[in-house]
Amino acid sequence: MPNATDARFAGSIPQIYEQYLVPLLFEPYAADLADRCGDLQSGLLVEIAAGTGAVTRALSRLLQPAVQLVATDLNEAMLRVAESRGAGSAVTWRQADAQKLPFDQASVDAIVCQFGVMFFPDKPAAYREACRVLRPAGRFVFNVWDRLALNEVSDIVTRAVSALFPDDPPRFFERTPFGYFDGAAIKKDLESAGFSRVTVETVEKVSRAPSAEHVAIGLCQGTPLRSEIEARDPARLNEATRVATEALRTRFGDDAFDNRMSALVVTAWR
């Protein structure tokens, strides 16, 4: 269950997230999600929890001109970074809560969400909202991370940073980004919200990590893990980043290396 600070992408976090983590973690899966919605010929496609716009940019390159794309996020700071990166004139940016979508009933043709549903405080409520605004036979396509052990760089950083605070280890990655990976439970939640058919697929991707330090900076300073570290001792953020760098360097060496990832991709039809 997310806590109150898990979705707090503020200060310098959005810029670091975009620079260090989007190419490493999110671009490969953004292309996958965009491909799954690229057959839409017309109508309204809504992105929720758009973050800094990785999926938005991928979609804008694929969608037909007759498709209206509205990219939303609750976090204004993330949306500002997304908008500054640009995604074509066809995109409308809008602040919105996924649990209270500002769209009429049965007005949306498709909804897409990349690695966002894990952060929703009330996932069934968000699923009911998605079902409410979708047209009959509309689809909701999203992904979530698989278990932490199958995403090695995040697992290594989690263990390295936790060791610095043995009496109160930061649990952000375990609790939220990598805490919602039970495909059967996800399917049950969606069906209870009113979706008629749900598929869950494991998708593995590989990206190229420039260096151990690059990964450590991204994960320690470009996510809410930073807030957890600073809440324990604000003077130890750089130390945590160094410890995470050394742990990654021990596993992968000093040079660029392959980052292997695993996620679940879910498609739910209204």
Domains of the chain (ranges; CATH) run 13-269 (3.40.50.150)
Query: Which tens digit of pLDDT belongs to each residue from 197-217?
Result: 999 999 999 999 999 999 999
Contact 47, 94 (CB under 8 A): no
Contact 102, 94 (CB under 8 A): yes
Across 127-155, average pLDDT: 98
Helices and strands (DSSP H and E) totals, the chain: 11, 7
Please give the pLDDT value at position 5.
59
Give me the residues paired with residue 155 across strands: none
126 confidence band (pLDDT: 50, 70, 90): very high
9 confidence band (pLDDT: 50, 70, 90): confident
Instruction: Find where tokens 């069906």 sit.
Output: 191
**Angle of CA points 28, 207, 172, to nearest 5°:** 80
12 confidence band (pLDDT: 50, 70, 90): confident
Nearest to 81 by CA among 33, 26, 37: 26
Query: Which tens digit of pLDDT belongs to each residue from 232-259?
Result: 999 999 999 999 999 999 999 989 999 9
Report strand pairing: 67-73 vs 197-209. Answer: unpaired
Instruction: Find where tokens 């996958």 sit.
Output: 32
DSSP, collapsed to helix, strand or coil, labels residue 42 as coil
89 confidence band (pLDDT: 50, 70, 90): low
- Helix ranges, 97-211 (H): 123-133, 152-164, 172-175, 183-192
Give me the residues paired with residue 268 across strands: 140, 198
Token pair recorded at residue 41 = 């010929």
Across 89-118, average pLDDT: 95
Contact 42, 107 (CB under 8 A): no
86 confidence band (pLDDT: 50, 70, 90): confident
Measured distance CA(70)–CA(72) in Å, rounded: 6
Please give the pLDDT value at position 202.
98
Measured distance CA(225)–CA(230) in Å, rounded: 9
Give me the residues paired with residue 46 across strands: 70, 111
Report strand pairing: 197-209 vs 134-145. Answer: unpaired
